[in-house]
Structure formats: structure tokens, C-alpha cells
Chain A
Amino acid sequence: MAKVALIEAVNMALHHEMARDENVVCLGEDIGTNGGVFRATVGLKEEFGFKRVMDTPLAEGLIGGLTVGMASQGLRPVAEFQFQGFIFPAMEQIICQAARMRNRTRGRITLPLVYRAPFGGGIHAPEHHSESVEAIFAHVPGLRVVIPSSPARAYGLLLAAIRSNDPVLFFEPKRIYRTVKHEVEDNGQALPLDVAFILREGTDITLVSWGASVNETLIAADRLAEQGIKAEVIDLATIKPLDIDTILNSVRKTGRLCIVHEACRSFGVGAEIAAQVAEKALWDLKAPIGRVGGFDTTMPYYKNENYYMIQPEDIIEGVQKVMECSA
């Protein structure tokens, strides 16, 4: 079995699904001959031809709308936005059109489409290349939001996203595109689109994260174990629909919760998780819920980027605060 990086798993899933289903098409800027700026689509044009692997004109609003039109005809378009920070011209198409079409036509027109975009910071990229704005999309009725954090989950979740008959935002943590390689079997097995993954079991505190921060969360959990604190680590994976049951079950066991996300702390997905846990499991909690998130700032230019990014130490401090508050 081949060891692949996350970006290669994305590529593998695209190859698999384009071969399996002729309705799957890929489109975006520089995705054809160039294979995408991160090489997610390398080899697709050679294997499936330019008719199914389309270099679009440089217009993100167009990509958003083209995809709606294609999907209305039963194609399964997978559109790439070069960076999440470049997705904003397409917001009107995604929010006002893609998210609503099934509802406003009472199911007459459905849109099996995927919008892919690399997201997150930590790679010393230029301005507008490091956003983490998953909460904006999760807030919109009618959209699914998916974020893989490992090669295997990138492969299985992307297959599921393409096979879903709902519009899916698929955000890829580019900081870990190539950092680790895992064995991933190209077996066409999709993962569920509404289930969080328990990556490490523990009894003292539940840590929930997603995307690249899962990496730091696991490192923090290792170090906490050395201090005698057994952390359970959950990779949320599908932001929406939110698998709150997996989180609640874990919190009922550990009695403590700390949420870790790279996005700005305020009004983020962490706030939604905290609210739901407070609504449904407040009496199971031994301490207030902790949040370790990005600052409420624009991502600084790269000389100061590291001060924004979440370190394992930030998570350890966050956990210690929760532990100290415990009743």
C-alpha cells in the first residue's frame, strides 16, 4: 500500500471518482495543465481530458455559478478555489444560489457539487492566503462543511463529498498538505459525512479540533499524559452537520471540554459547540468549557504569523486552566 500525503490523497480520490463516475468533472483556475497550484489535480487532465478537467477563466464568481449550472444538469462538479481567501467573489453564488436551490425548487433541482479550497495559515504565504473562515459557511442553511485532517480522512471524506447530493464546502488544511504520509488504500471507501472521529481516548478532558490544529492537539495530549492528564481527542472532520453526540458522549465521560481551532476565537465553530454542550450536558461538566482559538485579528503578515498560530503549549495552558477550575 502506498504512503501518501494529504494532498496526494485528495488527488487519489479525484482520480478514483472521475474514473468511477463519468458525471464527475473538475474545474478551477490552473487545475488542468498545471495540475493546480498545490498539485491537487495533477494527472487528471491527462487521464480524463480537458472536457472533464476545465481550466476556467480567472473569475471566482463564475466558478461558483458555473458549478451551479453544471450540477443542475446532473454533473458532479468539483470546483477548486485556489485559496479560501479568494472564495469571496463566489459568496453570492454559494450562499444565495448553491445553498438554496434545492429548497427554493422544493427538490426539483438539486446540486451535487463540491467547492474545494485550501485554507489556514502557518506556511508564510502572502496576504489573503491564510484564512480560516469555515464558520461563515457553517452558518448558512443548506451547505455541508467538511475539513479533513489526515490523508486517509481526506481520501474518504472527499469521496463522500463528491457522492453527496448536497452542496459541500471541502476545506483542505494546506499546512499539513505534505507534512505526514500515511498508508491509504485506494479502495473507493467513503467515510460518513456526519461523524466525528475519536483519535485518542482519555478520561480527564475532551479536546475537540479539526484541520491542521488536530496535529498540535495530539502533541498537547501526549505532553498532558506525561503530567497525568488523560485527554480524549476528537477530530470533528464534518463541521456541518455537527456530530454533537460524539462530543456529548465524550464530555459525559470526561466532564471537561476544551475546543481548539485556528480560526478567530469569537463567533467561531467553537462557540457553537460550547453552546450546544452547555444546553445539553451542563450538569455533566466539572468545569467551564475552554476555548483555545486564534486571536480575533486578521492573519498577520508572515513575520508575525507564528505568534498567531496555535502552539501545543497554548493548548496545554488552556487545558490546565480548565483543570484548575474543576469543581
Chain B
Amino acid sequence: MTFTSKSTITQLQYLDEEGNVVQPLPAWADNLDLLVEFYRHMVLVRTYDKKAIALQRTGQMGTYPSHLGAEAIGIGVGAAMDVEDVYVPYYRDMPTMYMRGATMVHNMLYWGGTEQGSYFHRPDGKLSEDFPICVPIATQCTHATGVASAFKLRGEKRVAVTAIGDGGTSKGDFLEAINCAGAWQLPCIFVINNNQWAISVPRAIQCGAPTLAQKAIGAGIPGVQVDGNDIIAVYDAMLTALNRARAGKGATLIEAVSYRLSDHTTADDATRYRGSEEVNAAWKREPVKRLRNYLHNAGVWNEDKEQALQAECNAKVEEAVQQYLNHPKEPPESMMDHHFEQLVEPLASQREELIKKAMRMEGGQSHG
């Protein structure tokens, strides 16, 4: 028998559930300040997540998808990217977007029902080229492929990075995107947040393959599975993939294995379809405590610092919430203004009609 093709999928893990080192760490991880920085971001986005759910429950924000349990993936991916790269998010992606300049306020504006949430800047102050939150499943993947082909065409050393859930990998758009990225050897990274649940459908009946990373094999690109609760593994896999892309060697698929500790969104009730035993077991593997344990053991973190960080994060989130609640509302006619480069008919006439309607609804004088 001759093998025409033979592939293996490896899983990358540096920290176990307790934060103990299971294999020699990569050299960059000697920088404990960096790991502390990661930790501070992870705690902030977790604090934010809890508050966002509370805002929804109290009617101050619309439906919201929690990222509880995905903090290592989001912060790891966002931290590894350069400011000049482009991120093409899916909908459960607040942590990465936050690292790229879309603030907590932007996230609240988006889920709080205004398009202003998708108008954001990079951390260096330039208008962002990152994509907005993408709700239709997997459609963002081909956008990343398109962005990456623009980079390649222009000979830029930039990388397009996109993310998707485990359920999304069943869709054609995902497969078409990784196939094209392989065929064209594009500087593109696809990150799967395999959190085991696509609303109520478990990973086991989503796909017959033992890993999602192996979908890369059919696309002719490297696929790697990482422990998505281990930010050292996530960040390291990203660095490898980014270096590979910048060197002109093409795309990578990273399957980050995590667990969706929350409901799918605030409109969902996960107790309808999964047991508490499974969720309790997943809490033992969660990413924030894991990194905290490691930093404790490394002697760079303690209870005082933890309490100070918690207070700092609460204050930052509270400040963001106030900004969100006080944010000036866009006038209704803004819905007309951005469909085309210029206001065309019948939108121009309908804009006048809407202004009158809004005045009537608000009890003002109608011109009509």
C-alpha cells in the first residue's frame, strides 16, 4: 500500500487545569509581565460579560451572547495580532474586538441596538479596518479570505484573522473559505472556538470527524488543535500561524477547544438541553483561574493584587456602562443615510417622511 497523503493533528497545551506546566514553555512566556497583562485583560472581559448580561436582564440592553469561558481565546488571538492586521469577527467575539480597539462601550452600543457600535478605531487612533460583528454564521470566513487576497496582491505583510464557532464549521462558507485560502496560499488564519455547543446541538452530532482541525487537511493548510483554556497555547499557536502567514507560506486553521460556560445568548436557556454535571466539570478547566494559578505559582500574583484588579475592573466596566447609557441616540433618519454613498430616491423622500413620523410618535408637532 502506498500513502498518497498522510496527516496528523496535534494538540498544543502548556498549562493543565490547575495551571501546572506540562511541557517546557515557549521562550516568549519568560515575559511574565506579558502574561500578567493577558490576565488583567481576561479578568476585565469576564467582568464586562457578567455586567452585560445584567444589563440585558434589566432591560438596558438587547440580546447578548456571553463569551464566558472563551477569554483565553479572545485575548490570546487579539494580543498576538499586529495593529495593521485585520480581524474579521463572528458574534461571540467581544474579547478579541476589545483587544483591537472596539471598546466595551462599542460592544454595548451594538447589542444595545445602534449601528454606532460598529464604528470604531484601532488602539493607535486610526479608523479601524476590522470587520463589524457578524451574525450570519460562517459568512465572515470568506471576507477574511478576500481581505487576505488583497494583502497578498499588494505584497503587504499583513494577516487577516477570523473566528467561528464549532457549529459554523459545518457551513459551506467556512469550507469554501479555507479551501480558497489553501489554493491561493493566503495570509489568513481561521480560529475555531470549539466550545462544544451550537445553541443546543452538541459537538458530537455536529460533525463526524474526531477533530475540527482536520478540516484543514482537505483544504491543504496546516490544522492544529490547541487547549482553548490555556492562553499560552492559544497565543503560541497564533504566533506560529502569524509568522507562517507573514513569511508567505499561507493559511492556518486553529481549533481552540473550550467550553461555553454560559447560555448561547441571553435568549437561551441551556438547562433545557445539557446537564449541570457537564457544566460543573467544565468549570474546573476554565481559563481565567488556570492562568491565575500559574501566575501565583510563578510568584507574580497574590490575593492583594487580585482584589485590586477586581476593583479596578469593576470601576472600568461601571464607567463604560455609564458612557453607554449616556451615549447620544442617533436620530431615526440615520437609518436612511448610509445605504449608498449619496442619498438616492426614494430614500431622500422617505427621510422627510420619517422625520415627520418620528415627530408624531414623540408627540411633537407634525408638519403633515
Contacts and interface: CB of A to CB of B under 8 A. Distances in A.
Interface of A: 25, 51-52, 54, 56-57, 59, 61-62, 64-75, 77, 89, 92-93, 96-97, 101-110, 141-142, 144, 164-166, 194, 241-242, 244
B151 interface: yes
Interface stretch (B202-210, B311-319, B337-345): B337-345
Contact of A108 (B88, B128, B142, B345): B128
A119 B223 CA distance: 40
A69 B147 contact: yes
B151 A73 contact: yes
Nearest to A68: B143
Given A59-B179, A69-B145, A165-B341, 15 more contacts: A54-B184, A61-B172, A65-B146, A66-B180, A69-B143, A69-B149, A72-B146, A73-B86, A102-B340, A103-B335, A104-B118, A108-B119, A166-B341, A241-B344, A241-B345
A75 B146 CA distance: 10
A243 to B, nearest CB: 9
Contacts of B149: 54, 66, 69-70
Contact of A62 (B131, B176, B341, B345): B176
A56 B118 contact: no
Nearest to A102: B338
B116 interface: yes
Contacts of B341: 102, 110, 164-166
A73 B147 contact: yes
Most buried by B among A68, A71, A194: A68
B173 interface: yes
Nearest to B144: A69
A73 B150 contact: yes
Contacts of B139: 65, 92-93, 96-97
Nearest to A113: B146
B104 interface: no
B141 interface: yes
Contacts of A194: 344
A52 B131 contact: no
Given A57-B183, A61-B173, A142-B339, A106 B344 contact: no
A142 B176 contact: no
Interface string B163-195: 000000000110011011001100000000000
A106 B340 contact: no
A30 to B, nearest CB: 15
Contacts of B146: 65-73, 77
B153 A62 contact: no
Given A57-B176, A57-B180, A59-B176, A96 B136 contact: yes
A194 B340 CA distance: 13
A69 B176 CA distance: 14
28 contacts: A57-B180, A59-B172, A59-B176, A59-B180, A61-B142, A61-B172, A62-B173, A65-B177, A66-B149, A68-B142, A68-B146, A72-B129, A73-B150, A89-B172, A92-B173, A97-B136, A97-B139, A97-B143, A103-B335, A104-B115, A104-B118, A106-B116, A106-B334, A107-B338, A108-B118, A110-B341, A142-B340, A164-B341
A56 to B, nearest CB: 7
Given A96-B139, A109-B132, A72 B173 contact: no
Closest 10 CB pairs of A and B: A69-B146, A65-B142, A73-B150, A62-B176, A66-B146, A69-B143, A59-B176, A69-B147, A241-B344, A103-B338
Contacts of A144: 340
B127 interface: yes
Most buried by A among B129, B160, B334, B338: B338
A59 B142 CA distance: 11
A57 B179 contact: yes
Contacts of B344: 194, 241
B220 to A, nearest CB: 11
B148 interface: yes
